[in-house]
Amino acid sequence: MKFLHTSDWHLGRSLHGRKRYDEFSAFLAWLKQTIASEHIDTLLVAGDIFDTSTPSNRAQTLYYQFLCDVSQTACRHIIIIAGNHDSPSFLDAPKALLRTLHVHVVGAMTADIKDEMIVLHDPQGQPEAIVCAVPYLRDKDIRTVEPGESMEDKNTKLIQGLRQHYAHICALAEDQQKAFLSLNPDTPMPIIAMGHLFSSGGKTVDGDGVRELYVGSLAHVDESLFPACIDYLALGHLHVPQCVGKAQHLRYSGSPIPMGYGEAKQEKQVLLVECAHTTPSITAITVPCFQALERIAGSLDDICTRITQLKQAQSHAWLEIDYTGAEMIANLRTSVEAWVADSTLEVLQLKNRRITERILSAAHQQETLDDLNETEVFQRCLDSFEVLPEDRLGMTQRYQQIIQSIKEEDLNAE
């Protein structure tokens, strides 16, 4: 069988207010073509299909049109799990209808864990693979709360919950695999698992939206958590393509387009997994760049020089410009707009650190809540109450967990 592993589409995401639907549309068109040209049997989408739990109509149209288009190819199955950005109930709502297109959706952990185990069949109706489609597991799914428990107790319970969940479903899959092989011992029957989580040592980048949601306990998930019977693990959540530890068959595909300027230099990819037997062959397929992003930082001369180079190359890049020179430049925006006026370049964000630092130092009291995010507000509270450094870590961890629980609330659930 040929699987294609992708994740973290974040349909509907914008960049400094700029809508990116053209990029998403171009990626999905390319993905459909790749599925057809590579003769993919099964597409695995490991979470964060949408950027928010209430996606726009246009984002939904891209999603459903893609599923319909792929159903017309030779791809026999599409398996989708929810990520932390997705609404489980929203993804699950049309699952019965999507099943007619051979699209399997697992939005949330259910009462019966067998609902997460999907047996794939070949064109003759014979079983050919088992997929353990584990969605993003929220705190309330895998941990019971007890009075007086410490942060260490909570962290331990989270890891135990994840470990037990994967052990349980993989044990069921292994029993199913043995039953199939007893009838057809010469037929390969790989076990493919999916997940959306943060693994130990996982690489993140500034602005990818992952680091901001990170809660320390989840970073301790390592390769030992996953049962040995898994032939390939398709993970989502981290935007940088990578393995879990040294295990080559436990993979993050990464996001297919840069979600921020910190990802602009990455080579984005999807993963082609071939299971001729149970040992998979894994090949990275590079995703084309559909919209160039360019971060320019430096003095006024540095910025001017780089813009000139991009103009000469006839670049269509979206620019993030960060002026870090020592000189105070009051008319920076006017200068930059003049430099890009006769080009196809577009400036999405302009940072003037010297002006910003002067304004904030002179008028700190004039800030409003609109100028700060929730983490910055909390840090200001800690500063205001003169909380000691040794107490800040624990308080910040608890605050992050409260924020995470709020963001995990399914707004579409009844």
Kindly give the pairing relationship between strand 281-286 and strand 269-274: antiparallel
Given CATH 3.30.160.720, say whether it is the number of domain 293-407: yes
As a whole number of Å, the end-to-end CA separation of the chain is: 39
* pTM for this predicted structure: 0.87
Q: Is the pLDDT of residue 100 over 60?
A: yes
b/e code 81-115 from CB counts within 10 Å (16+ = b)? bbbbbbbbbbbbeeeeebeeebbbbbbbbeeeeee
Q: What pLDDT digit, counting tens, does each position of 171-194 carry? A: 999 999 999 988 888 888 999 999
> What's the rounded mean pLDDT across residues 25-31?
98
- Dihedral Cα 24, 25, 27, 30, nearest 10 deg: 170
Report the share of the chain in percent with pLDDT over 70: 91
Q: What is the mean pLDDT of the chain?
A: 88
C-alpha distances (whole Å) from 273 to each of 5, 42, 116, 143, 179 are 7, 10, 21, 33, 24
> What's the rounded mean pLDDT across residues 7-19?
95
Q: Is the pLDDT of residue 15 over 50?
A: yes
C-alpha angle 247/248/253, rounded to 5°?
115
Decide which of 325 and 21 is more confident: 21
Domains of the chain, residue spans? 2-286, 293-407
* Residue 232 burial class via C-beta count within 10 angstroms: exposed 0-12, middle 13-18, buried 19 and up: buried
> How confident is the model at residue 149, as a pLDDT?
74
> How confident is the model at residue 201, as a pLDDT?
72
C-alpha distances (whole Å) from 308 to each of 83, 317, 318, 321, 348 are 41, 13, 14, 14, 17
Same fold, 2-286 and 293-407: no
Assign domain 2-286 to a CATH class: alpha beta
> How confident is the model at residue 199, as a pLDDT?
85
The identity of residue 277, as a single letter, is H
Lowest mean pLDDT among 5-9, 143-147, 367-371: 367-371
Q: Structure tokens of 254?
A: 């990464």
> How confident is the model at residue 55, as a pLDDT?
96
DSSP state of 216: G
C-alpha distances (whole Å) from 196 to each of 45, 82, 126, 235, 261 are 10, 8, 29, 6, 23
